[in-house]
């Protein structure tokens, strides 16, 4: 009897059985919970790191699994030793005392050297990979990634093309992301294609990206960067090289100027008269009409080919199952209600103005 509590090992047999069952239940429950994680479908976890889709993500995956299994081995050995000690030498009638090993130099050296060797074995290939994953091949195609609160901008210097939220790349080719930030620290992360890398104001960092096959891969800003950090998302869209070239060529064209007395024309008037042009550039087929934001001005996404992007508003909209139109209505009615802190203000547009604006934006493929 200690502190009024009965030691469980001296309890009645029934109470002991109940306690054992309770413990067994806890273990089974925890196992099911952990096992359940592996049952989550990839569609439900688009940011999973367990589905590498390119050579650089493969490299990380190839490091992860051996390190994971080494850790599992160490865990099983250490926990196993603890369990053996707990059961063999627990406090019970007739229990034997464990051998006292305090101050054994042989053991001290052994359990220092073995972990040191394991850690060195893990560190060498990891360090090599960390450098390899950020040192681009000199032949790789350059795409600039510029972080903004709270969206990613992509610039294709060879074609002089700007786009936002969706980074279009050719499948099977290495892309070298030259990355920086326009305001605070961000971090560009497309888990299926490579690890994370910082975007630092005033500096350029590099990240190698490549997809084996065409496909759409989810990305996310991986550094807390302010109020809507959790809503700073991205997509990488890998296309067949020929399709990619066609996309790039189309992006170099200007937007058509809508015919007068159409809804698209009305939408363009809203765009020009409600302040949108202070932040958003649109280039027209007739370049003399282009609305270009000054380089030093506050910069929002270029909208010339807005309708060619599958997502908008920091790749947050449209939500799953939502139409583009409904997403745009929600966004244009009150951007800060979607992305708290958004630098795009609520312009108090009327429903008619919003409908017109959507008609014009969606005509710019």
User: What distance in Å separates the CA atoms of residue 274 and residue 9, rounded to the nearest whole number?
Assistant: 78
Q: Is 222 or 282 the residue whose CB approaches ligand CUA more closely?
A: 222
Candidate residues 57, 146, 179, 223; the one interacting with ligand CUA per rule CB under 6 A: 223
Q: Closest approach of Cβ 144 to ligand CUA, in Å?
A: 16
Nearest-approach distance from CB 148 to ligand CUA, in angstroms: 8
For residues 225 and 358, which CB has a smaller minimum distance to ligand CUA in the complex? 225
Can you tell me which of 167, 179, 232, 357 binds ligand CUA, judged by CB under 6 A? Answer: 232
Q: From edge to edge, which strands make up the β-sheet containing 161-164?
A: 161-164, 151-156, 141-148, 175-181, 205-209
* By the rule CB under 6 A, 197 interacts with ligand CUA: no
Q: How far is the CB of 199 from ligand CUA (least distance, A)?
A: 8
Question: With CB under 6 A as the contact rule, which of the stretches 2-10, 26-34, 216-224, 326-334 interacts with ligand CUA?
Answer: 216-224
Cα 252 to chain centroid distance, Å, stands at 28
Which of 52, 54, 147, 335 binds ligand CUA (CB under 6 A)? It is 147
Is the bond leading into 228 cis (omega within 30 degrees of zero)? no
CA distance 278 to 297: 8
Candidate ranges 13-21, 43-51, 221-229, 258-266; the one touching ligand CUA (CB under 6 A): 221-229
Please say which residue, 147 or 170, places its beta carbon nearer to ligand CUA.
147
How many Å apart are CA 34 and CA 28, to the nearest integer?
A: 10
266 binds ligand CUA (CB under 6 A): no
Site string for ligand CUA, 156-195 (x = CB under 6 A): ------------------------------x---------
CB of 165 to ligand CUA, least distance (A): 13
Rounded distance, CA 13 to CA 348, Å? 74
Single out the residue of 57, 49, 53, 363 nearest to residue 237, CA to CA: 53
How far is residue 222's CA from residue 307's CA, in Å, rounded to a whole number? Answer: 27
Query: Please, what is the minimum distance in Å from the beta carbon of residue 232 to ligand CUA?
Result: 4
Total Cβ atoms within 10 A of residue 325: 14
Assign 209 to helix, strand or coil: strand
CA–CA separation, 179 and 200 (whole Å): 8
Query: What is the C-alpha to C-alpha distance for residues 212 and 333, in angstroms, rounded to an integer?
Result: 40
Contact with ligand CUA (CB under 6 A) among 229, 233, 280, 283:
229
3-state secondary structure of 147: strand
CB of 207 to ligand CUA, least distance (A): 15
What is d(CA 271, CA 324) in angstroms, rounded to the nearest whole number?
18
Residue 225 is a binding residue for ligand CUA (CB under 6 A): yes
User: How big is the site for ligand CUA, counted in residues (CB under 6 A)?
Assistant: 9
Provide the CB-side half-sphere exposure for 15 (13 A, CA): 7
Q: Which residues are at the interface with ligand CUA (CB under 6 A)?
A: 147, 150, 186, 221, 223-225, 229, 232
């Amino acid at each position: 009897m200690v502190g009024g509590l009965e030691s469980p090992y001296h309890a009645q047999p029934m109470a002991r059985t109940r306690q054992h069952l309770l413990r067994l239940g806890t273990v089974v429950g925890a196992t099911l919970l952990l096992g359940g994680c592996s049952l989550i479908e990839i569609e439900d976890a688009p940011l999973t790191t367990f589905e590498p889709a390119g050579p650089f993500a493969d490299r990380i995956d190839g490091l992860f699994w051996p390190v994971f299994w080494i850790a599992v081995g160490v865990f099983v050995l250490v926990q196993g030793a603890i369990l053996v000690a707990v059961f063999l030498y627990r406090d019970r009638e007739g229990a034997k005392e464990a051998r006292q090993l305090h101050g054994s130099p042989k053991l001290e050296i052994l359990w220092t050297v073995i972990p040191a060797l394991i850690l060195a074995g893990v560190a060498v290939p990891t360090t090599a990979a960390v450098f390899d994953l950020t040192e681009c091949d000199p032949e790789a195609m350059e795409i600039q990634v510029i972080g903004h609160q709270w969206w990613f901008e992509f610039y294709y210097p060879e074609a002089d093309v700007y786009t936002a939220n969706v980074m279009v790349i050719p499948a099977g080719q290495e892309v070298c992301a030259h990355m920086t930030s326009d305001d605070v620290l961000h971090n560009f992360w497309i888990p299926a294609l490579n690890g994370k890398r910082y975007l630092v104001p005033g500096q350029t960092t590099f990240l190698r990206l490549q997809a084996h096959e065409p496909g759409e891969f989810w990305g996310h800003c991986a550094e807390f960067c302010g109020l809507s950090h959790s809503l700073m998302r991205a997509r990488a869209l890998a296309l067949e090289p020929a399709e990619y070239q066609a996309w790039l060529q189309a992006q170099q064209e200007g937007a058509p100027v809508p015919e007068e007395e159409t809804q698209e024309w009305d939408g363009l008037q809203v765009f020009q008269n409600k302040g949108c042009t202070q932040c958003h550039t649109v280039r027209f087929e007739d370049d003399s009409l282009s609305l270009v934001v000054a380089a030093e001005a506050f910069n929002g996404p270029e909208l010339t080919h807005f309708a060619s992007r599958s997502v908008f508003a920091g790749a947050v909209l449209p939500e799953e199952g939502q139409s583009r139109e409904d997403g745009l209505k929600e966004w244009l009615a009150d951007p800060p209600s979607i992305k708290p802190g958004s630098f795009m203000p609520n312009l108090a547009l009327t429903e008619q103005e919003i409908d017109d604006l959507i008609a014009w934006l969606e005509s710019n493929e």
